[in-house]
Structure 1
Amino acid sequence: MALIALAADKGSPGVTTAAVALAAVWPRRVLLAETDPAGGDLVYRSAAAHGGQLDPNLGLLSIAATARRGLAPDQLWDHAQSLAGGLDVLVGLGGAEQAAGLSGTWPLLGRAFAQLQDSPHAPADVIADCGRVSGDSPVLDLLPHAALVLLLARTTPESLARVRDRASHLARRLHGERRGAVQLGTPLIGVVLVAEHGGAAKLVHQVDEMLHATQSGARVVGTLAEDESGAEQLAGRRRGRLDKSLLVRSARKVAADLQQRYGTLWATAPTPGQAPGAPGPAASVGPRAAAQPQPLPGNQPLPGAPGASAPGAPR
């Protein structure tokens, strides 16, 4: 199991939507963490499992108050909440002003996220919504603990140029200047394209060639469908068969491809801080472990559905 960090360079490619969609169809137990220093969105767009609102003070904010004394991986569950549909989440900050309270905590968070796979009680992968990353973003201190960093990009020329440059910058920061051998470094860097359904196959090849030329080690690992209707269903603002939406079907394929491509590596590689050659995490055990996909949040009424209060604006 592993920490998967989702991020973007600029614009709004839908990092939060992508993170929720991937977590909802992830084939193993997963904790979705909102780690965007600019603030989270789930308290505005999603309902809690009990039908009410998510508690904005329980999540990253409450972790910041306790992590000064250290942060054990299992403590993450003390700050988690469940969305309608059953997905476990760590609610993000209320805004950028609160990010100062996490100064120095980002590496601790990254380490705890990565080591949650080794919990004897509730092992899980963590999918982290990191928002937009830049050269001075504090969330960059979390990324060295990830097994995979996924950069989202739309298919406009400027978006593709930016994700190419961001992948190169991240490779140098995370792997050093090992030109030509960066692909062997961890975390691995992948690109997920947000594109119209059925129109990205040729583009994937072109973007892969562009990434290869940078020697960053990054590569395209999948595409998510540009599906406004599916995104509305995922956020609970529209009814429908969410599991049949283009968004969720494409997310399921990305999740399956990631597991097929990297699953064995994640199961055997040492976690950060583990001695080289030490055995990797065993298969999930414990009362909260689950080998089944997470239930889709949109399978149950969420804010925005008929008769419910309107949620905040999407990101």
Structure 2
Amino acid sequence: MALIALAADKGSPGVTTTAVALSAVWPRRVLLAEADPAGGDLVYRSAAAHGGPLDPNIGMLSIAATARRGLAAEQLWDHAQPMSGGLDVVVGLGNAEQAVGLAGLWPTLGRAFNGLAETAQQPADVIADCGRIGPDAAVSEMLSQAALVLLLSRTEPEHLARVRDRAAALSAKLHGAQRGAAQLGLPLIGVLLIADPGNTRLPGQVNDMLVASQTGARVVGVIAEDAVGAGQLSGRKRGRVEKSLLIRSARKVVGDLHQQFGSAWAGPAMPGTGAVQ
């Protein structure tokens, strides 16, 4: 199984772009879910496989309308639609006000996401874009079901300080206050830096800070800050997105994640069907 949850503390570090990029190069079948309570962006950024727009009513909004009667993992496909390029997505809410419909359902949604890889038909891992999370974020109720929580951060000092504090608070919430508990239980908490991949010293320096601060998190990779690649990925710019710094860095992150954690994610999920191979 693998539910991979991506989130950020503050600012605009590119959670949605990173979630799409990781999904596009994921080596197993994957379902991308826009689980941000503040609303999704992909209905505005991306086209559907048929060339028209994605349907905003099929996704988290339709889940909110039906999940109070229960939500089996297999039912997630009823709320998914293919994007241009072939990636399956559960599109996000239209706005934050619609999140009221998901009140109390986040644990149910987390269990369904978590269980999708173990289903007999159409098994898949789930990469969930959870947007910004804070101490009162409702979506945090879903994170205990994840195999890995990835916190995104830019590299300015204020951003690193916030991700350090958020990682520590999230670790205490998910694993308890006992020292070392984060290394023993799930979900693991990782930090993805949005930065120049050529700065090879930076990840180690940030990781040392996280370890010294006893946050229970560690740096797991770097996603390139690549506006051109992000535009190509969304279809707004022309060019070979598979050659972009964004996708190349995403491939390295995904390769490293599967090298470190892939044995724990082994299961029936089918080979990758992402948008960029």
TM-score range normalised by the length of the shorter chain = over 0.9
Q: What runs of 5+ residues in structure 1 fail to find an aligned partner?
A: 268-281, 285-289, 300-315
- Distance in structure 1 (CA, Å) of the matches to 2:202 and 2:249: 16
* SS of residue matched to 2:48: coil
The residue number in structure 1 matching 2:128 is 128
The residue number in structure 2 matching 1:14 is 14
- Distance in structure 1 (CA, Å) of the matches to 2:86 and 2:202: 36
* 1:149 matches 2:149: yes
- Distance in structure 2 (CA, Å) of the matches to 1:158 and 1:10: 10
For residues 62-113 of structure 1, the C-alpha deviation after alignment (integer angstroms, 9 at most, x for no partner) is: 0111101100000000010000000000000000000011001111000000
* SS of residue matched to 2:4: strand
Contact map agreement 2:30 2:273 (CA 8 A) in 1: no
- Distance in structure 2 (CA, Å) of the matches to 1:87 and 1:44: 16
- Distance in structure 2 (CA, Å) of the matches to 1:258 and 1:124: 17
What does residue range 106-255 of structure 1 map to in structure 2 within 5 Å? Answer: 106-199=106-199, 201-255=200-254
Alignment length (residue pairs): 277
The residue number in structure 1 matching 2:67 is 67
The residue number in structure 1 matching 2:268 is 283
Contact map agreement 2:207 2:219 (CA 8 A) in 1: yes
CA apart distance, 1:293: 4.7
Contact map agreement 1:58 1:91 (CA 8 A) in 2: yes
- Give the residue type in structure 1 aligned to 2:101: G
Q: What runs of 5+ residues in structure 2 fail to find an aligned partner?
A: none
* 1:58 matches 2:58: yes
- Distance in structure 1 (CA, Å) of the matches to 2:93 and 2:228: 27
Query: CA, structure 1 residues 209+180, in 2 after alignment: closer, same or farther (shift >3 Å)?
Result: same
Contact map agreement 2:226 2:245 (CA 8 A) in 1: yes
Structure of greater Rg: 1
- Distance in structure 2 (CA, Å) of the matches to 1:113 and 1:210: 32
Contact map agreement 1:6 1:149 (CA 8 A) in 2: yes
CA apart distance, 1:214: 2.3
TM-score (norm. length: structure 2)? 0.98
Contact map agreement 1:60 1:93 (CA 8 A) in 2: yes
The residue number in structure 1 matching 2:104 is 104
* SS of residue matched to 2:86: coil
- Distance in structure 2 (CA, Å) of the matches to 1:82 and 1:292: 14
TM-score (norm. length: structure 1)? 0.86
